Amino acid sequence: MASVDMFLDMKSREKKNFYTPFVCRLGFLMKRSGIGNGDGSDLSQLALKNVLEFISGSKSRALPAEVLEAAQSSLKRKRGEFEEAVQSQQLTSDEKILIEKCVFTHKSILIGEKTLFEKRKVT
């Protein structure tokens, strides 16, 4: 929650501090379809490309095909390893409620999967 708080604070002052945030939903990388992406299409390749472009600063020039292919292969391998572990660790309904209660104590997080910014005076 501290990292979300810092993100919101820096984002609110981005014109002054030149902070350019990058946010990527883990669900997109993990090939979970239907999570806020409309038609349920697989966005994992696009999400991975966006992450790599941000990290490498190569948005204005194409990533070498072999780099993208190696990253996709690595992500696919890791996704397979973690999918089995995640299946056996599903949260109960009570656990989800407790997590939501904790997260929603933050003054800028008001609705699940939505972040509403409060109007702050930038100094």
CA 49 to chain centre: 14
Which tokens go with 26?
């883990």
pLDDT tens for the chain, 123 residues: list them.
Answer: 677 778 778 888 888 888 777 777 777 888 765 555 456 677 788 889 988 988 888 877 888 999 999 999 999 998 888 877 777 777 888 988 888 787 777 766 665 555 444 444 444
Q: Are 115 and 109 in contact (CB under 8 A)?
A: yes
**Residue 41 DSSP class:** -
Ramachandran angles phi, psi of 27, nearest 5°: -60, -35
pTM score > 0.85 for this model? Answer: no
